[in-house]
Structure 1
Amino acid sequence: MLRTKYYLTRADGDGPTALYAACFLEGKRKKIYLPITVVPSEWDATKQKFRRSRTNWSEDNTLLEFLAKELDKAATKLAAQGTPATPDDLRALVGKLTGAAAPPPAPEGLLVQLAAWIEECRRDKTPSTIKSYRTLVGHLTAYAKIRRLNLQYTSVDADFVEGFKTYLLKTVGIANTSINNNIKYLKAFLNAMFEQGKHEFAHFKRFRKLEAALPEVVYLTAAEKNRLFTLNLEPLPYLEHTRDVFLFECETGLRFSDVYALRPEQVGEGFLLLTTQKTADLLRVPLSPLAQSILTRYAGHREGRALPVKSNQKTNQDLKIIARLARLNTPTTTTQHRGSERVATTRPKHELICTHTARRTFVTLALEGGMRPETVMRITGHKDYKTLHRYLKITDAVVQDEFAQYVERQNTPLMRVAV
């Protein structure tokens, strides 16, 4: 027997709303919208009937009973023929019995369209970006459930986003930088759908970011890098492989995603030629003697890959162990915003090292060693100096050395005059 119940699309308000039949097909509820509208005050949800206050209430209630019986008969007949009824079958029957074409199904929710957009993005976005988009879906789904919201384009306005940011801060417990990233991804989706004509609401253009400090990425000094290089890891080959890959990144400035995807055919005589995974830039990266020796050591060991690279998560776990074994214990302070509060945290450097540390190490040591910023940008693929400047960290020793050279240059003419 086909169980059919009737519900209002919207149970509050003074204006008319659509009525739909909830039909349970194979244990799942399917919505069959009827060409009937009703003011919520004229509907008795408990008795599943129109109230007497509705004009022609008796005839309309008879119609609902008739529709329920006919839908059940049609589903039973199809089941006897070995063909289970589908929602489209029932919609067509409703249209026939009411003398009108069955109304179109309700528009898909925003979360459904967001999931479809993410699938489309897989063509030209990196796996890490897709993962970030899916994290956004998880946060939105949880927030909508807590607030009992059916997310539609019209409801995702500035007020919604302010509440969503508060939820991410207070309930999820993430910092402002991560909150801003989620809002950025949401805006990208809404803007894409706006450009495609899927909606006409421009609320997303007024979404505001929270105040956030730029994320600080830990780097290694030349001495610390050498300490990693000289660390004896032969008894632990799985850590030795991770250390070698990390040092290769420190020597080339490549992102982890590019080293992970590096193939032997991209290795030339003293250089790499590759298209970056994140920005699709074509780069010609020179190879230092250390980088070449690492490539030579693992040549032919991994079919299809130039280096034995593990997943980003596993690599980060290994790096913290390696850095601890190398005693990279310098107290290192990082800061982040949580709401209006600026939080500073000081931890040993080995706890903060990750795959991106290598790229920042390359940029820092290259600039400290006298390489021009334009040359560094050509190697790393940075588009402008402002972006590169985020990676620039000058050690106290370098500052002291350069200041001593400055003083010597300033004093030389005076010393000649004094003589």
Structure 2
Amino acid sequence: MNYLFELRKDKINKNGLIPIRIVITSGKIKIRKNLSNVKTLLEDWDEKSEVVRNNKKNPFYEIYQQSNIDVQQTKEKLENIKNFFKFNNIPFAEDIFLEKFDKEEVSVAIDFFEAFTEFVNVSKHTKALGTITKYTTVKNFLSQFTEFTRYPIRFDTINQRFEEKFMDYAYEERKTLNNYYGKLISIIKTFMNWSFDRGYHNNIEFKKLKRIENEIEVIFLEKEELFKLYKHDFENERLNKSRDFFCFGCFTGLRHSDINNMDKANIYDDFIQLTLIKTKTINHRVELNIFSKAILEKYKGTIYEPLPKISSQKLNKNIQDCCKIIKLDSDITLTRHIGSKRITKTHKKHELITSHVARKTFVTNSLIFGMNERILREMTHHTDEKSFKRYVDISNFQKNKEMKSTWNINFETE
């Protein structure tokens, strides 16, 4: 990268002052930037030293004084940008140069956390609010990690040594579950890939970071449990509304955010068509069955149409109360891992019912009832085959249970 100061003789003003611009070149790239406050008479410009000759008797003394300050500051900024490309081993790029030039100060080194903040802000245009919250949480987790361990986080230090230190901190200090640790690593790698593509670093060691993930139980309502909840008339209207909201998710597979954002205009005779919040998928279509239609019909013409609006926090609390009332109290043992340490805890089923369970209930029961997997994935917009396979495995287990409880029992004596 090279640069020079060029007099704009075609832009001379009535006082004979000529504006100056810089011309930056690198290979076939040429960039011109005007310096708005830098002006000089032709005879006062020192081309060799690249300064305006000045003295107190000069009628343009104050203008020249400011011009020389701006020229010097511009030189310093250009040298920092030049070193930025050189020391970070980044090929010169016009968009990166302009982004750097427009900043008040230019750091030769790229700050990891400043870049992460930029990554979060840029992602707001394409990612759902929940994803942005996760990105911010990971950034804060990394900040707390480096504060606690004094490990120097830079682009070039995201390597095997980082992985060892980060894993030790996550498991020993924060008691992080394996699956959450895996999500942390996944987002860190997403950020490192993004910053690599932008030319912020040339470190590829981060690709070796390993994501740890354990299989976890799929909590869902079996058919009998679902319809016990669906048909129960609660004394409290708050619980009845929460029951309807939750069951609508169980009958459609829609996420809480999509149901809560649903409008009358999204409802057609036999289907719903809407934009999904999480994936930003437009005109997504979900077919209505007799049960989801009945719930919508219940609120037709009321102030709640198409459905009551309920926050996820309130829904979780209310639906757990509903499930406790109808005695969904079978014991469920959950197994989690922190590193190699196994942790088991037994809960009553109603304690585990949250808004997420509705979607899991729809997927699992649809598979048990024999719905085509491909069509089901299109309806629920599951893009991750690995996560969807968990439901297939559960449904196969349930089918096997049904076989044993019907055919095997009825004919085992013959």
Normalization by structure 1: what TM-score? 0.68
Supply the AA of the counterpart residue of 1:173: K
Cα distance in 1, alignment partners of residues 214 and 254 from structure 2: 24
Could you say which residue in structure 1 is the equivalent of 2:126?
Answer: 124
Cα distance in 2, alignment partners of residues 334 and 386 from structure 1: 20
Give the match's secondary structure for 2:320. helix
1:190 aligns with 2:192: yes
Give the match's secondary structure for 1:371. coil
Cα distance in 2, alignment partners of residues 311 and 110 from structure 1: 35
Could you say which residue in structure 2 is the equivalent of 1:222?
Answer: 223
Could you say which residue in structure 1 is the equivalent of 2:308?
Answer: 308
Q: Are the counterparts in 2 of residues 248 and 294 from structure 1 also a CA contact under 8 Å?
A: yes
Give the match's secondary structure for 1:390. helix
Cα distance in 1, alignment partners of residues 313 and 163 from structure 2: 31
Give the match's secondary structure for 1:342. strand
Q: Are the counterparts in 2 of residues 217 and 360 from structure 1 also a CA contact under 8 Å?
A: yes
Q: Are the counterparts in 2 of residues 242 and 309 from structure 1 also a CA contact under 8 Å?
A: no
Supply the AA of the counterpart residue of 1:137: K
Of residues 239-248 and 213-222 in structure 1, the stretch that sits farther from structure 2 once superposed is 213-222
Cα distance in 2, alignment partners of residues 101 and 379 from structure 1: 57
Q: Are the counterparts in 1 of residues 170 and 181 from structure 2 also a CA contact under 8 Å?
A: yes
Could you say which residue in structure 1 is the equivalent of 2:378?
Answer: 378
For residues 119-163 of structure 1, the C-alpha deviation after alignment (integer angstroms, 9 at most, x for no partner) is: 110111111111111110111111111233553211222211221
Supply the AA of the counterpart residue of 1:269: D
Q: How many pairs does the alignment contain?
A: 319
Could you say which residue in structure 2 is the equivalent of 1:267?
Answer: 267
C-alpha RMSD of matched pairs (Å): 3.2
For residues 279-320 of structure 1, the C-alpha deviation after alignment (integer angstroms, 9 at most, x for no partner) is: 3445322212221122233345558x7322322233222222
Supply the AA of the counterpart residue of 2:358: A
Cα distance in 1, alignment partners of residues 385 and 140 from structure 2: 36
Could you say which residue in structure 2 is the equivalent of 1:357?
Answer: 357
Of residues 198, 204, 223 in structure 2, which corresponds to 1:202?
204
Q: Are the counterparts in 1 of residues 130 and 278 from structure 2 also a CA contact under 8 Å?
A: no
1:170 aligns with 2:166: no
Of residues 321-330 and 127-136 in structure 1, the stretch that sits farther from structure 2 once superposed is 321-330
Q: Are the counterparts in 1 of residues 115 and 195 from structure 2 also a CA contact under 8 Å?
A: no
Give the match's secondary structure for 1:285. strand
Q: Are the counterparts in 2 of residues 217 and 356 from structure 1 also a CA contact under 8 Å?
A: no
Could you say which residue in structure 2 is the equivalent of 1:181?
Answer: 183
**Aligned-pair CA distance for 1:184:** 0.5
**Aligned-pair CA distance for 1:200:** 1.0
Could you say which residue in structure 1 is the equivalent of 2:253?
Answer: 253
For residues 49-84 of structure 1, the C-alpha deviation after alignment (integer angstroms, 9 at most, x for no partner) is: xxxxxxxxxxxxxxxxxxxxxxxxxxxxxxxxxxxx
Cα distance in 2, alignment partners of residues 342 and 360 from structure 1: 25
Of residues 135, 153, 159 in structure 1, which corresponds to 2:155?
153
Indicate how the Cα distance of structure 1 residues 405 and 227 shifts in structure 2: closer, same or farther if over 3 A, else same.
closer
Q: Are the counterparts in 2 of residues 364 and 391 from structure 1 also a CA contact under 8 Å?
A: yes
Cα distance in 1, alignment partners of residues 359 and 295 from structure 2: 17
**Aligned-pair CA distance for 1:396:** 7.8
Indicate how the Cα distance of structure 1 residues 147 and 399 shifts in structure 2: closer, same or farther if over 3 A, else same.
closer
Give the match's secondary structure for 1:193. helix
Q: Are the counterparts in 2 of residues 373 and 385 from structure 1 also a CA contact under 8 Å?
A: no
Indicate how the Cα distance of structure 1 residues 93 and 408 shifts in structure 2: closer, same or farther if over 3 A, else same.
closer
Supply the AA of the counterpart residue of 1:227: K
Could you say which residue in structure 2 is the equivalent of 1:38?
Answer: none
Could you say which residue in structure 2 is the equivalent of 1:22?
Answer: none
For residues 145-194 of structure 1, the C-alpha deviation after alignment (integer angstroms, 9 at most, x for no partner) is: 12335532112222112211221111112201001101110110110010
**Aligned-pair CA distance for 1:231:** 2.8
The 5-angstrom pairing of residues 12-411 of structure 1 reads 101=76, 104=80, 105-106=106-107, 107-210=109-212, 212-234=213-235, 236-281=236-281, 282-299=283-300, 301=302, 306-383=306-383, 386-392=386-392, 393-394=394-395, 398-403=399-404
Give the match's secondary structure for 1:332. strand
Give the match's secondary structure for 2:391. coil
Cα distance in 1, alignment partners of residues 341 and 112 from structure 2: 33
Supply the AA of the counterpart residue of 1:192: W
**Aligned-pair CA distance for 1:345:** 2.3
For residues 223-259 of structure 1, the C-alpha deviation after alignment (integer angstroms, 9 at most, x for no partner) is: 111221233324x222222211100000111122221
Cα distance in 2, alignment partners of residues 338 and 151 from structure 1: 24
Cα distance in 1, alignment partners of residues 257 and 322 from structure 2: 21
Give the match's secondary structure for 1:123. coil
Structure 2: any 5+ residue segments left out of the alignment?
1-65, 81-105
Cα distance in 2, alignment partners of residues 366 and 238 from structure 1: 28
Supply the AA of the counterpart residue of 1:357: V
Cα distance in 2, alignment partners of residues 260 and 203 from structure 1: 43
Supply the AA of the counterpart residue of 2:154: Q
Could you say which residue in structure 2 is the equivalent of 1:80?
Answer: none
Could you say which residue in structure 2 is the equivalent of 1:28?
Answer: none
Cα distance in 2, alignment partners of residues 247 and 336 from structure 1: 28
Cα distance in 2, alignment partners of residues 332 and 408 from structure 1: 26
Normalization by structure 2: what TM-score? 0.69
Cα distance in 2, alignment partners of residues 395 and 156 from structure 1: 42
Cα distance in 1, alignment partners of residues 303 and 204 from structure 2: 50
Indicate how the Cα distance of structure 1 residues 95 and 241 shifts in structure 2: closer, same or farther if over 3 A, else same.
same
For residues 369-409 of structure 1, the C-alpha deviation after alignment (integer angstroms, 9 at most, x for no partner) is: 23232332232223476543312434987534424665599
Indicate how the Cα distance of structure 1 residues 400 and 94 shifts in structure 2: closer, same or farther if over 3 A, else same.
closer
Cα distance in 2, alignment partners of residues 159 and 386 from structure 1: 29
